Amino acid sequence: MRHHYFCGCFASAAAQAPPAWTGFYLGANIGTGWGSVDVRDTNGGVTPGPFSYNNTAWIGGLQAGYNHQLAPFVAGVEIDGGYVGLDGDGRIPSSTPPDYQRIWVDGGLYAMATGRLGFAIMQNALIYGKGGFAWFDGEAGQKTTKPGYQTSMADGFRGAVFGGGVEYMMTSHLSFKVEYLHMDLGSVTGYQLSISDPPIGFKYFNTHDFAIDTVRTGLNYKF
């Protein structure tokens, strides 16, 4: 009877153990990226465009979230923030050759809020998709080499993010992930103000459409 009693208690405790992926987690990530920017000049000065250029990037940051597992399915929410470093710019003709216009975007902080939905394989591997909102505070600009103009940068990109990945649970608390994300960060507008070239005081507006793809690796610790 004692033997059956202890076995019954052990089986009951095992049955009450939480699913492998359920719980809060905190982690870090790092990776690489590539992006493109389309620039349009909307009210004169140069040909409207669009003018396009590419850039490369590195990305790194922290993430935190919560998963809930129901049978093989895992649903969760995640917040993610860090820094994107960018390298790349473009050049377009000016209305007064040999002057030209430089177009570029700078690196900056980013933040994301996403939902995740996945399928657990053999309890310790998770395939998932995710999507949500992204924000990037890098600045984009257009600047002529012709004297007499003042540049006002475009900043505050906002848009959608979506992608997916694979996460593997190495221990009951520590997991490793590889993830692809596409961030479509929308359009922001800056301008060049004429301060000495007629018409003085006129603003030549430029709109920048920015998107970036990233591949990241990361570690999560589940509490």
59-114 pLDDT, tens digit per residue, is 999 999 999 999 899 999 999 999 999 988 999 988 888 999 999 999 999 999 99
How far apart, in whole angstroms, are the C-alpha atoms of residue 46 and residue 93?
A: 8
The pLDDT value given to residue 5: 42
For residue 124, what is the DSSP state? Answer: T
The pLDDT value given to residue 75: 98
Q: Is residue 29 part of a domain?
A: yes
**Other Cβ atoms closer than 10 A to 176:** 14
- What's the whole-number average pLDDT of the chain? 90
Judge whether 197 and 169 are in contact, CB under 8 Å: no
How do strand 174-194 and strand 157-169 relate by DSSP bridges? antiparallel
Length of the chain: 223
pLDDT tens per residue across span 194-212: 999 889 999 999 999 999 9
Give the pLDDT band of residue 16 (cuts 50, 70, 90). low
Q: Give SS3 for 15.
A: helix
> Which tokens in the block code for residue 97?
């050759």
> Which tokens in the block code for residue 131?
């999507």
Give the pLDDT band of residue 1 (cuts 50, 70, 90). very low
How far apart, in whole angstroms, are the C-alpha atoms of residue 48 and residue 206?
A: 9
Give the pLDDT band of residue 6 (cuts 50, 70, 90). very low
The pLDDT value given to residue 46: 84
Q: Is residue 144 part of a domain?
A: yes
Q: State the Rg of the chain over Cα.
A: 25
Provide the domain limits for residue 178.
Answer: 20-222
Judge whether 182 and 164 are in contact, CB under 8 Å: no
The pLDDT value given to residue 94: 87
- Give CB contacts under 8 A, 24+ apart, made by 187-190: 188/140, 188/154, 188/155, 188/156, 188/157, 189/42, 189/154, 190/140, 190/141, 190/142, 190/151, 190/152, 190/153, 190/154
> Which tokens in the block code for residue 96?
């007064």
pLDDT tens per residue across span 18-73: 578 999 999 999 999 999 999 999 888 888 889 999 999 999 999 999 999 998 99
| pLDDT greater than 80 at residue 167 | yes
Q: Is residue 56 part of a domain?
A: yes
Q: Is residue 190 part of a domain?
A: yes
| pLDDT greater than 80 at residue 14 | no
Q: Is residue 74 part of a domain?
A: yes
| pLDDT greater than 60 at residue 145 | yes
| pLDDT greater than 70 at residue 169 | yes
Q: Is residue 64 part of a domain?
A: yes
Q: Is residue 3 part of a domain?
A: no
The pLDDT value given to residue 205: 95
The pLDDT value given to residue 201: 94
Q: Is residue 62 part of a domain?
A: yes
The domain tally of the chain equals: 1
Write the CATH number for 33.
2.40.160.20
Judge whether 46 and 94 are in contact, CB under 8 Å: yes
